[in-house]
Structure 1
């Protein structure tokens, strides 16, 4: 019988900084760090955690710390405790490391910090650094955590409630009542004392991974393993150019990150702990709601799809949120819009902020989208739907409540021709198939609507010679078989549901891929960014080739490892942008490639993004499917942190027996009648970029005509989000 894994907690809180003149940077005392640690210790003890070590620094009456020297948060003491965990733990155990205190950057552009990120180049300012004690750098901490993961097979959680200010920091901020920043009196400390050299040397001796040490001179510029860990999750309080703070909650100072994290954890029972994604999401939304004047964006790195401080993986659907609710009404505003594929008629499950939402969770309240404004790509309006007995739950829906897509609607109307089936099916069968198709708003039977005589339907359903239903696509003047879409046998008792599912899936894929370039009103200069791909190995050989006429089209053989790179060019006017990478694949799925769930990459001129994927050819659905396949890798770019995960779509299954035999009926009585006016197909460009200000003006939208983007400035408008995307198309062919 396998024993239950133990949990090891190492909690570090620095309120008092020992005075000294060994460094030019000065650190003022804080108030909430020790309280953070004590609250965390209490939480862990309630979880019956037996191995908890706390290292704290509290100012005593004589100006020295109250704690014994062996229990102070100094570099030797922290390393001692990290080594003890490595020595005494067993494979499979869980480790929790928490730091509350000041943080600082230890790198700068002029010394070559070209690989900086949220962890690399940062340092935790320990209690004795002004007396000459060593910083604990992001690189050094990564060395010890990596040993835990790979030498002892431990799963590690690292939470850093401190500042990592540096790049882009302009001036000291004014402190509002109840708020204190967790940074020193400077943004960057480049001094390298003897204690720093010794700490660095000790870490170097333990680190054999050349990827993290090659070509660098000291810990100020070495890339930290924690910047992209495996078997470990890292949660930091803010971006590298932001300030983390502590705030007065109910009369006591706490770190903003730690307070909201513990609030969520304490509200969820031990048997139903939230995932890391849920924790970060909850913290970010409360910071935005309660501390909106302070720019502090929690960052999540590593394995995010696990239960917080647990071994269980959880599968969570991408989420949006209720942004506002009109007083005394069921009208809500959502933080997702047409840029995510949202269209009028879409149905979302609604969960209260405290709910632990996983796959299979059932909501008592729905939100049906009623308006999608042209001038706000990331906003929509919806009405709450619920049974009378669930009115008390509906009344608790407020800003921060979670919404999860249940049934999508189409903004590009799609028409289906089933005329060829009349000779094979009864009227009841035809009527049944038609009713299933029309359950998706925006999906119509061609016979039910008025359209130009020369306008063909987008899709056709036909019965082939093997007595199987096929879905055909109209292109180049004729209907053609869609590759890697499984035929559905007539003998399948659920054939009508399955055909309807395939049609709505293909229409959704087309909708998301065809983000409306006609709505872009202020494009960015495409020369500001570079998006490229090269073989992961040196040389092209016969496995990789570029199209000399089209720099966005590439060819690679199956199993080739391709390294994608995105960077901000020197002439870009922005200090940073946020990016996420998605694959529109040959099996009609949309999946996130990089970074992990719930995360986005921040890119600066010094911090490009690189990732590698292995090109694969999916299983054929029929013998006629082509040998070669095409993937479109798209990078979404935005000037504010933007989550695109609502666009994800599972691949169509390769066998009819695994096609879901059900679709969700959409209540339509709440919506206005939809127009069926057809317009020109949406064009796509290599670089489609759009900008819009959040605006309280909502339009009644006809997606088939060019919108009029309104400009209604107002004092409370949110920061402008300029956004767009770039595509690379990769054809994968079989090996010779």
Structure 2
């Protein structure tokens, strides 16, 4: 199991009332309550109708109950074949369900989010994306009421989490690499793909991180805008802004079916319609539930490599990821998500 206490990292700095502070994060022990939200949308009768997404949501629901101790009554499932209007994956129902998932979140809880459906991109308006595009997911009523942007999913499902609460998210959709706006991506070798924050952060960035941890969003934005003003180059600006505004002391991790620039397959496996990522995720952990994060990422890619070009990604909230090099090599995927 991971360490129990808060994990501090990076340089110390002077906070309010002249107190010395240091950024921190805290792992979940996964001994608290378990809640999950599973969304599957086939878009019946619409252009680009899908076949396997509803199956994915139900398969993940059953998988969580059978393998990881979740209870059916603690899992909300939204599918576009539901009879109950509240269980139809409309934009409003999806946003309400996301809020339900994190409501009352506490240290050592295990929260799980799964989405299978269409994904896409739209122009980034706040400067946190190095490619200039936000990632979005599409509710069943997106033509009438619009999509849901990664900025909003982060604000709803990550920002409210307390230190020591785990959120595991799985996105089985196109353009999903950074769909939850977690700022650090890891490779199959367990190496971080972006520069290490602690090594290069200036006082402005660390102040922004500490402001986020305290819930002081005005302080975050003030510090982040200062970073953006002094940074050079679009990618550098986006990286610094994302780190300053998307960090969290919680234990958040997202698995996605592909890179931001790729598509994810609506597939058929064993004669049944399924999303390729959902199928790989269940298959990999069914064969070996005690894998490290690096092993799991490699397992997902190995399963998909033979038939699909998509490359699954793993991203984390910065604070819960500063020691993921160690976690990737020595820690195991917890038996409770």
Alignment TM class, shorter chain as reference: 0.5 to 0.7
- In the TM superposition, 1:188-207 aligns within 5 A as none
Aligned mates of 2:152, 2:280 — CA distance in 1: 28
Contact 1:276/1:304 (<8 A) preserved:
no
Deviation at 1:295, TM superposition (A): 2.6
Match of 1:35?
Answer: 55
Match of 2:180?
Answer: none
- In the TM superposition, 1:125-140 aligns within 5 A as 125-130=138-143, 132-140=144-152
Alignment partner of 1:158 out of 169, 172, 182: 169
**TM score, norm. by length of structure 1:** 0.30
Distance 1:316 1:105, change over 3 A: closer
Contact 1:236/1:299 (<8 A) preserved:
yes
Match of 1:57?
Answer: 80
Distance 1:243 1:211, change over 3 A: farther
Q: Deviations over 1:302-343 (max 9, x none)?
A: 16999xxxxx996444xxxxxxxxxxxxxxxxxxxxxxxxxx
The yes-or-no answer on 1:143 pairing with 2:160 is no
Deviation at 1:160, TM superposition (A): 1.0
How many aligned residue pairs are there? 246
Deviation at 1:18, TM superposition (A): 6.8
Contact 2:293/2:327 (<8 A) preserved:
no
Distance 1:85 1:113, change over 3 A: closer
Distance 1:213 1:162, change over 3 A: farther
**TM score, norm. by length of structure 2:** 0.62
Q: Deviations over 1:689-734 (max 9, x none)?
A: xxxxxxxxxxxxxxxxxxxxxxxxxxxxxxxxxxxxxxxxxxxxxx
3-state secondary structure, aligned to 2:268: strand
3-state secondary structure, aligned to 2:39: strand
Alignment partner of 1:81 out of 94, 97, 103: 97
Aligned mates of 2:93, 2:287 — CA distance in 1: 33
Aligned mates of 2:284, 2:30 — CA distance in 1: 28
Alignment partner of 1:259 out of 279, 285, 289: 279
3-state secondary structure, aligned to 1:12: strand
- In the TM superposition, 1:222-371 aligns within 5 A as 231-269=251-289, 273-288=290-305, 290-291=306-307, 294-302=308-316, 315-317=327-329, 358=330
Q: Deviations over 1:136-170 (max 9, x none)?
A: 110000111223323x74211111111118xxxxx
Deviation at 1:275, TM superposition (A): 2.8
Unmatched runs of 5 consecutive residues or more in structure 1: 20-26, 59-65, 166-205, 307-311, 318-357, 361-736
Match of 2:181?
Answer: none
Aligned mates of 1:105, 1:92 — CA distance in 2: 33
Q: Deviations over 1:13-45 (max 9, x none)?
A: 1112575xxxxxxx4211111111111111111
Distance 1:127 1:161, change over 3 A: same
The yes-or-no answer on 1:98 pairing with 2:111 is no
Q: Which has the higher strand share?
A: 1
Distance 1:128 1:246, change over 3 A: same
Distance 1:305 1:137, change over 3 A: closer
Match of 2:34?
Answer: 7
- In the TM superposition, 1:583-662 aligns within 5 A as none
Match of 2:24?
Answer: none
Cα RMSD (Å): 3.9
Aligned mates of 1:119, 1:233 — CA distance in 2: 23
- In the TM superposition, 1:483-562 aligns within 5 A as none
The yes-or-no answer on 1:45 pairing with 2:59 is no
Distance 1:158 1:88, change over 3 A: same
3-state secondary structure, aligned to 2:294: helix
Distance 1:314 1:305, change over 3 A: farther
Unmatched runs of 5 consecutive residues or more in structure 2: 1-28, 177-215, 229-237, 333-337
Deviation at 1:7, TM superposition (A): 1.5
- In the TM superposition, 1:717-732 aligns within 5 A as none
Q: Which has the higher helix share?
A: 2
Contact 1:305/1:313 (<8 A) preserved:
no
Q: Deviations over 1:629-650 (max 9, x none)?
A: xxxxxxxxxxxxxxxxxxxxxx
Moved more, 277-286 or 240-249: 277-286
Q: Deviations over 1:478-513 (max 9, x none)?
A: xxxxxxxxxxxxxxxxxxxxxxxxxxxxxxxxxxxx
Aligned mates of 2:266, 2:296 — CA distance in 1: 18
Deviation at 1:286, TM superposition (A): 2.2
Alignment partner of 1:122 out of 132, 135, 139: 135
Deviation at 1:135, TM superposition (A): 1.3
Distance 1:227 1:253, change over 3 A: farther
3-state secondary structure, aligned to 1:148: coil
Contact 2:30/2:108 (<8 A) preserved:
no
Larger radius of gyration: 1
Aligned mates of 1:137, 1:274 — CA distance in 2: 31
Aligned mates of 1:149, 1:119 — CA distance in 2: 27
